[in-house]
């Protein structure tokens, strides 16, 4: 019942934003918005950029200009300063590489009269808070990494149970730790493995950099060192794809000899779960995140009121919330990239 009410609220939330954006097309103020992204080359970020541009196209009088940080906090801060100094932008849509270091960017933009919408990663001192933390922010549209870490850990534990392994030997691969999504997911996964899911034993870990080929090479090396591994845990489906290929290279059958878990729900990931090669994955809704943040950014740039400015995307929009996705419930969700 709570999930149904949440989805009804989400429909009203997006509907209101769309209606506000569609009203009086001939009267719209043209706006140019700086779009700050964390890793432009990543497929998730590409989906986000494409959806921002689609919202601009539908609006007819809005434009987004992309600033890529390439997982560098210092690059994102420099981009922010350049955008403010240019005096060309009516608003900022800001996805921080890391939330706390970008607080001053938001404050400086606000002081210059530029409305700011934070999205993706929390902008502020707390990485566990989806609501606005910087006074004056127009909106906060977030997919919390701590929720992902909790789901990754629960999924790994379920895989260990399915493998009937105790202790359950686990290899963990993760994305670039300069990016809050990867760093905070790892923090929560490792903490829960140590305190709650104590049957798990992390025997090796390493960065696959959100890249299937890098993860494939990494996994082959780690599995050769730990051939009795039970579960390979990844913080994203891109890593899981590489892990599955690495296991096949070594003559092991994913889903049988070794169970593999992913994260950041993708089209490929859904197919791998349905084929039995991937045990499960976690929620990510980049299209919904981007469309909501884009519409809010346009509204903020036009100094329009935003009715529901604080959004945790999966909690509001996903039929399964932030619960892990396995063969049992993955049919309820459609991937967005």
pTM for the whole structure: 0.89
Write down the pLDDT at residue 190.
Answer: 98
How high is the pLDDT of residue 27? 83
Question: In which residue ranges of the chain is pLDDT below 50?
Answer: 1-9, 11-12, 18-24
Give the model's pLDDT for residue 26. Answer: 55
Residue with tokens 């502020």: 124
Measure Cα distances from 43 to 165, 238, 299 in Å: 34, 9, 27
Domains of the chain with CATH codes: 2-143+285-321 (3.40.50.2300), 146-281 (3.40.50.2300)
- Angle between helical axes of 237-249 and 267-275 (0-180°, round to 10): 50
Cα-flanking dihedrals φ and ψ of residue 260, to 5°? -120, 135
**C-alpha distances out from residue 81 to 139, 292, 308, 312, Å:** 21, 25, 29, 28
Cα 270-119-40 angle, rounded to 5 deg: 65
* Distance (Å, whole) CA 103 – CA 127: 12
Contacts of 268 (CB under 8 A, 6+ apart): 237, 241
Q: Write the burial class of residue 8 (CB in 10 Å: 0-12 exposed, 13-18 middle, 19+ buried).
A: exposed
Q: Are 182 and 208 in contact (CB under 8 A)?
A: no
């Amino acid at each position: 019942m709570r999930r149904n009410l949440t989805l009804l609220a989400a429909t009203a939330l997006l509907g209101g934003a769309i209606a506000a954006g569609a009203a009086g097309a001939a009267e719209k103020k043209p706006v140019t918005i700086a779009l700050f992204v964390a890793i432009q080359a990543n497929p998730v970020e590409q989906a986000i950029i494409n959806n921002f541009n689609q919202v601009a196209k539908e609006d007819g009088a809005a434009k987004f200009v992309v600033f890529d940080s390439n997982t560098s906090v210092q690059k994102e801060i420099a981009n922010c300063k350049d955008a403010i100094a240019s005096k060309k932008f009516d608003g900022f849509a800001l996805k921080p590489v890391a939330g706390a270091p970008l607080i001053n960017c938001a404050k400086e933009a606000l002081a210059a009269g530029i409305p700011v919408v934070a999205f993706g990663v929390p902008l502020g001192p707390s990485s566990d808070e989806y609501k606005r933390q910087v006074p004056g922010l127009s909106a906060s549209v977030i997919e919390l990494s701590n929720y992902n870490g909790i789901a990754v850990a629960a999924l790994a534990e379920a895989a260990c149970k399915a493998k009937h392994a105790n202790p359950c030997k686990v290899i963990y691969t993760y994305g670039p730790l300069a990016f809050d999504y990867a760093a905070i997911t790892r923090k929560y996964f490792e903490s829960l493995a140590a305190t709650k899911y104590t049957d798990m034993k992390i025997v090796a870990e390493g960065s696959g950099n959100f890249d299937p080929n890098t993860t494939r090479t990494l996994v082959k090396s780690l599995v050769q060192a730990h051939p009795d591994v039970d579960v390979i845990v990844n913080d994203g489906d891109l890593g899981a794809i590489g892990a599955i290929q690495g296991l096949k290279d070594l003559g092991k059958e994913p889903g049988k000899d070794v169970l593999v878990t992913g994260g950041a729900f993708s089209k490929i990931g859904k197919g791998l779960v349905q084929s039995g090669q991937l045990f499960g994955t976690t929620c990510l809704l980049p299209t919904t995140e981007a469309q909501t943040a884009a519409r809010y950014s346009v509204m903020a740039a036009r100094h329009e009121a935003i009715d529901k400015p604080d959004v945790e995307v999966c909690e509001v929009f996903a039929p399964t919330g932030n619960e892990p996705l396995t063969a049992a419930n993955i049919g309820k969700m459609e991937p967005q990239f």
